[in-house]
Amino acid sequence: MTANPFPAPRDASMEASAPGSGWSVVAAKEFADQILSLRFVILFVVLGVAAALPLFLASETIRSLAEQVSGAQAVFIALFIIGPPDLAIFGLDFTVAAFVGLTAPLLGIAFAFDAVNGERSQGTLPRLVAQPIHRDAVINGKFGAALVTIALVLISVILIICGMGLLRLGIVPTGSEILRLLVWTAVTILYVALWLAFGTLLSVLFRRAATAALVGFGVWLLVALFGRFLLNLGLALFFPIDSSLPAAEQLGQYQVHAFLNRLLPPTLYNEASTVILNPSVTQASVPSTLGELDQAAQQIPTLLSLDQSLLLIWPHVVVLVALTVLCFAYAYIRFMREEVRA
């Protein structure tokens, strides 16, 4: 039997499209599973309650302030930064922005801690990577689907808060306030993406989903709730600020303390949120010289424009992006090198 000298043409478009579009197929399937899961409903309710409770408790304070400053700028955005007076939890102000920053990382960890090891424990990972798609499509698709789901939750909760402000307090946002809320939402999604990348890394490193969840929520509890307290306690014990030193040297010690505090992602996010949601904040870091300190003390109170606020927080955003890329890149490399057995 002789070979056919004219073999049938192969559909090159199908061969090329399958591997390239594999991540979108995985992402669509993951998104459909997550959006209909009980996990999505529970986390949506938890984040919604955590964001709405401070607003409800502080509604009378906000209403009185709104009446006093009727016609002033940046009144609507105060919904996110004003809380009940004389009330704080673990050193956090009881505000919408503070509680979103505290609970939002739970979304990242909860949607990622079983991304890979969950497939492994169910025995579906070998069949998944055996499909006609590139292997990295699995982890890319899972990460992308989780990020879109988290963005949907955050945007929905923020819209609910804005609706409560419109209905309960009768405050209408201005165009600049809407832009600031959009920027704050983007920064919040980026902050949660960091925890999502961290959760994905845990799902690759640990074979059991329960172990990954325990480590992930433990790190969140340690860093988000007690991280700043423990760090400041350590600084006070081992590197205290000496009041007997000249003012310039004391300022240098304050800068060291501020730099070490910024090693914690919650500190970066909280400072960025404060600058975005409060236009009256004109600096996000400790002055580097005594001259800058005197200049800041003599500065006339003013409201910054959005582009000026963005100039203050761009280092925070760059660091958050870098940390997210590092976590996901390490998870990506470990997953690509991992041996998957049936």
pLDDT confidence tier of residue 62, bands split at 50, 70 and 90: low
Q: What is the pLDDT of residue 226?
A: 80
How many angstroms separate the CA atoms of 283 and 316, rounded?
A: 13
Angle of helix 306-337 versus helix 175-205 axis, rounded to 10: 20
Residue 112: both structure tokens together: 């990622």
Query: Across-strand partners of 88?
Result: 93
Poorest-pLDDT segment among 153-162, 209-218, 235-244, 287-296: 287-296
Can you tell me the mean pLDDT for 331-337?
88
How many angstroms separate the CA atoms of 168 and 157, rounded?
A: 16
Q: Are 143 and 197 in contact (CB under 8 A)?
A: yes
- The SS3 assignment for 92 reads strand
Domain ranges of the chain: 22-225+262-337
Q: What is the pLDDT of residue 231?
A: 76
Q: What is the pLDDT of residue 305?
A: 84
How many angstroms separate the CA atoms of 342 and 340, rounded?
A: 7
How many angstroms separate the CA atoms of 135 and 330, rounded?
A: 15
Poorest-pLDDT segment among 44-58, 103-117, 239-253: 239-253
How many angstroms separate the CA atoms of 164 and 170, rounded?
A: 9
Tokens 């172990």 label which residue?
A: 211
For residue 191, count CB atoms less than 10 angstroms from its CB and return exposed for 0-12, middle for 13-18, buried for 19 or more: buried
Contacts of 135 (CB under 8 A, 6+ apart): 129, 335, 336
